[in-house]
Amino acid sequence: MNSSFIKIIKNILIYLGIISLTVSNAYSNKSKPTIDVGAVFAMTGPTATFGQESISGIKLALKTINKEGIAGRKIRLILEDNKGEPLESANAVRKLIDMDKVSVVLGAVASSNTLAGAPIAQKAKVPLLTPSSTNPKVTMMGDYISRACFTDDFQGVVMAKFAKETLKKSRAAIIVDNANDYSKGLAKVFRQKFQEFGGTIVSKDDFAYQQKDVDFRSILRRVKRKKPDVIFVPGYYTEVGLILKQAHQMRFNVPFLGGDGWDSPKLQQLAGKEAITGHYLSSHFSPDDSSPKVQNFVKEFKKEYNERPGAMAALGYDATFILANALKNAKNLSREEIKVAINNTKNFSAITGNITINKNRNAVKSAVVLKTTPAGNVFVQKVDP
């Protein structure tokens, strides 16, 4: 091998070494990898406003969190639209875990949707934190499933007590979405507690409808014959708005009560100005709360989106900060340690109240009672757990 050939080989090796060093430096100068967080919410479908509000709150929170990041890493949100359907929710959770390899999942809103996805997350040992699913069964799926909201056990008591002691009502009818876990669970608690407080439920069985029904006149006629002085409808705004509108047309003159499933601006649109006045709901948050923390959030949200936040926005915001706090406190960023850190959340100061996640992975926190008006829901009172 002659000297000129050896020299060529040396030059090639030096050149390749320079390229290798350059590539290595380029990679070392890149930012650290992201923390990938899945999100399963209804961006389309019958409860789309809930999902859209939740994501607005989540993104607003991430805007602040990602300024500093978590140990130098930013949170990257991977959103899947579950279309408000349980099957779509299950598929979305499976895709986020198996294909996107997320560290944690946020969502969903409706309890039926979360109940469809939770067993998948539990089996895969991926923490799932729902901002707003209130059915008690959700966190019974296992130790990887937590929530940032109160349960139906609590808001059912709140509305039963409000009906009996504040409104002084004694005869209640219950109209329930019979295919919805959230609705059935809340109806069960209200029935039990209203009777414990000395009230009467006018029918042995609840008056039942199903999500996506549009004509409730037959049910309302049967309800009216029972002569209740208050009517509890633990459904979602899509059907409740129509129920209120048709009840007004049928000259009902009693208040209707509901849960956080009512809490959407669409309720006013669907019911109309005359039908919406004078009803009550339990929820997680009111933008009229005078707390400085709440008012700062309202101001920040209005600046970002040019509208006032609803309960789902506040819950999405809170859940994201609970997650960020857990990521900071976790021993490492393994799914196991993230789960432990989420479940160890104690006295966390949030927009919707001070939140402690208890041994059953449910948030212990206050509720608010709101009154419906054509201009929106008005704050009535806060109820502590």
Token couple for 359 = 């041994």
Residues in the chain: 385
Is the Cβ–Cβ distance between 85 and 75 less than 8 Å?
A: no
At 22 the pLDDT is: 35
Q: How many CA atoms lie within 13 A of 82 on its CB side?
A: 35
The percent helix, strand, coil of the chain (3-state, each to 5) is: 50, 20, 30
Return the SS3 of 262: helix
At 2 the pLDDT is: 52
At 25 the pLDDT is: 33
For the entire predicted model, the pTM comes to 0.86
Q: What is the Cα Rg of the chain in Å? A: 25
Domains and CATH numbers, the chain: 35-150+290-365 (3.40.50.2300), 153-283 (3.40.50.2300)
Mean pLDDT per 10-residue run, the chain (385 residues)? Answer: 49 42 34 88 96 98 97 96 97 98 97 97 98 97 98 96 97 96 95 98 96 95 98 97 98 97 95 97 95 96 97 98 98 97 98 96 96 95 89
* Residue of 368, 295, 362 lying closest to 143 (CA atoms): 362
At 211 the pLDDT is: 87
Q: Rounded to an integer, what distance in angstroms lies between the CA atom of residue 301 and that of residue 152?
A: 27
At 12 the pLDDT is: 45
Q: For 44, list phi and psi in degrees, rounded to 5.
A: -135, 170
Is the Cβ–Cβ distance between 161 and 177 less than 8 Å?
A: no
At 27 the pLDDT is: 32
Is the Cβ–Cβ distance between 352 and 315 less than 8 Å?
A: yes
* Residue of 150, 154, 147, 379 lying closest to 281 (CA atoms): 379
